[in-house]
Structure 1
């Protein structure tokens, strides 16, 4: 891919990278994100880039999930594209039994990648409906069967779901005779050579198919492991939340008890102050009574002397 780049104030702007990022944005946020990116490009003086970004069309949910799969799993996606090329080249050289086995393996690979794409979409906050899942699987089948569809998906900017053809389409017209068709008999030596060559191609394609299936199974295993790790992390998060809530409740109880203790302390302090005032008043009264008693006693002694 040839990226269009512009430079302004020392910064390099890659409009192709911007579009790649835009087409992995969930459809619900696509328009807002597109306008933000277009406005930023226009502010930077990149008018052509702004126009190109603004012209981007919002993808359907299935097309977005297919784009997301391509960006999230580049190695598996590359192997899937290679598998499609191998299948298209080998398809017309296979007999009925091999075609049946090929169809079963193809369904398994498509189902595995479809589940992974649906999981990526769910992780991004969007659960794929059943019609969207069907459109996604149809797009993946189209990538395997049609070189044009493969090229569109490899670009990472699908807008709508792809439609698989009725049969595999090679990039160029096949040289081998298709099953069920008739042709003029070729000279025996050339026919034998062609037969040997097709047999060798068949073995090579079967090996490629086996490797692709192993890659799909490995990807499915990684997905199961990631799900298990995610479940463990979610469980640990829930336990931490429970512990936090229990601590919060304990803090709330302690704060209530502390507030009650403060109120009781304040009440006791007020009562103590009142008691001290009463005690002082009583002490003052006692002292006054003692003085009066003393003065009276002295007066009586003077009178009796």
Structure 2
């Protein structure tokens, strides 16, 4: 999520450098920080170099929360707006409305923390259970504390955030409490009439914000359902493909064994054919010699049988 302009008079180079740093995995942070700080000092921007060098490496949970903000900008923006509406609702609306919105918000926090864990895993860093809890704690803090929300929206968290222990108290009539009819109010003076109009306008605005927040929470809950269905479908497809791969692997193994057996049989057949060829050659030679001997014997017989001259 991009920010407009620089901060504290710093030029765009240092802001871009810090954005780059906090988009990196913690394992790559320190080395890249030193390179960027040295580059700023070499360019004659000593103050930028000091600021870059002072940047603290984020924890794994803080990095995952930053990654969620950058990778899911639309959902992060709606979550930020939901937190603004929820914080205002706790101060101005009835307890039932707050209870409903808080329940929806818990589902959104769970869904977004799982998305952050998945994004971290896809980037090559699996979150431990403790880090996953820190991400959820950070998101709850974003919902309930304005300062935490302002820090998260920069995308440069260094450590996990902790939500306040509770929202400001919300006063609402206790169920079953009887309300006495109010006395007819006297016509307020013009200044009080204007104040009443302003209060009505503020109340309507808050109700509209609550309606938008409820709509955002409902949409987020639906997205959770859709993502779960998509994940289940992907898991089913993955299992089917893994089964196909295993079946193909077994077929390849069987074919390779058959090929090895066929090659061995071919070698034996070649050897036997060569032996048979030798035997045929020997038999041919023996036959030739036998025929020659028989011919010579016939000649001898005819010579001896001829009358003496």
TM-score, normalization by structure 1 = 0.74
1:102-125 deviation per Cα after TM superposition (whole angstroms, max 9, x unaligned): 244134224413431232223322
Name the residue aligned to 2:178.
none
For residues 143 and 127 of structure 2, the distance between their equivalents in structure 1, rounded to whole angstroms, comes to 25
Answer with 77-86 or 238-247: which moved more: 77-86
Name the residue aligned to 2:147.
148
The total of aligned residue pairs comes to 277
1:164-190 deviation per Cα after TM superposition (whole angstroms, max 9, x unaligned): 275459xxxxxxxx979xxxxxx9434
Contact 2:86 2:213 (C-alpha < 8 Å) held by counterparts: no
- Residue 109, structure 1, aligned to residue 105, structure 2: yes
Q: By how many angstroms is 1:211 displaced?
A: 0.8
For residues 59 and 103 of structure 2, the distance between their equivalents in structure 1, rounded to whole angstroms, comes to 23
Q: By how many angstroms is 1:217 displaced?
A: 1.8
Note closer, same or farther for the CA distance 1:301–1:252 as it changes in structure 2 (3 Å cut).
same
Contact 1:38 1:50 (C-alpha < 8 Å) held by counterparts: no
Contact 1:84 1:145 (C-alpha < 8 Å) held by counterparts: yes
For residues 85 and 140 of structure 2, the distance between their equivalents in structure 1, rounded to whole angstroms, comes to 14
Name the residue aligned to 1:35.
31
Note closer, same or farther for the CA distance 1:54–1:235 as it changes in structure 2 (3 Å cut).
farther
Question: Any idea what SS the aligned residue of 2:26 has?
Answer: helix
Name the residue aligned to 1:78.
77
For residues 61 and 300 of structure 2, the distance between their equivalents in structure 1, rounded to whole angstroms, comes to 118
Q: By how many angstroms is 1:87 displaced?
A: 5.0
For residues 107 and 50 of structure 1, the distance between their equivalents in structure 2, rounded to whole angstroms, comes to 45
For residues 252 and 90 of structure 1, the distance between their equivalents in structure 2, rounded to whole angstroms, comes to 65
Q: By how many angstroms is 1:218 displaced?
A: 0.9
Note closer, same or farther for the CA distance 1:268–1:22 as it changes in structure 2 (3 Å cut).
same
Note closer, same or farther for the CA distance 1:273–1:85 as it changes in structure 2 (3 Å cut).
closer
For residues 230 and 179 of structure 1, the distance between their equivalents in structure 2, rounded to whole angstroms, comes to 42
Q: Unaligned regions of 5+ residues in structure 1, if any?
A: 7-13, 170-177, 181-186
Q: How does 1:218-233 map to 2 (within 5 A)?
A: 218-233=219-234
Note closer, same or farther for the CA distance 1:304–1:66 as it changes in structure 2 (3 Å cut).
closer
Note closer, same or farther for the CA distance 1:203–1:287 as it changes in structure 2 (3 Å cut).
same
Contact 2:142 2:163 (C-alpha < 8 Å) held by counterparts: no
Note closer, same or farther for the CA distance 1:238–1:90 as it changes in structure 2 (3 Å cut).
closer
Cα RMSD of the aligned pairs, angstroms, is 3.4
Name the residue aligned to 2:211.
210
TM-score, normalization by structure 2 = 0.73
For residues 263 and 131 of structure 2, the distance between their equivalents in structure 1, rounded to whole angstroms, comes to 64
Contact 2:113 2:139 (C-alpha < 8 Å) held by counterparts: no
1:69-128 deviation per Cα after TM superposition (whole angstroms, max 9, x unaligned): 33233233333434444455565444xxx1452244134224413431232223322346
Name the residue aligned to 1:286.
287
Name the residue aligned to 1:164.
164
